[in-house]
Amino acid sequence: ETFRAEGITPDELSQAQGYYRGRRRFDRQSPGGVLDTALWELGNELPTGFDEGVVQAIEALDVDTVKRFAEEFYAADAFTLVKVVPE
pLDDT 10s digits, 4-14: 777 889 999 99
- Sequence-ordered strand ranges (E) for 1-87: none
Q: Are 42 and 36 in contact (CB under 8 A)?
A: no
Distance CA 4, CA 61 (A): 17
Whether the pLDDT of residue 43 is over 70: the answer is yes
Q: Are 63 and 9 in contact (CB under 8 A)?
A: yes
pTM: 0.68
Q: Are 62 and 9 in contact (CB under 8 A)?
A: no
Is 35 in a helix, a strand, or coil?
A: helix
Q: Are 79 and 20 in contact (CB under 8 A)?
A: no
The band of 62, judged by pLDDT with boundaries at 50, 70 and 90, is very high
Is 8 in a helix, a strand, or coil?
A: coil
pLDDT at 1: 66
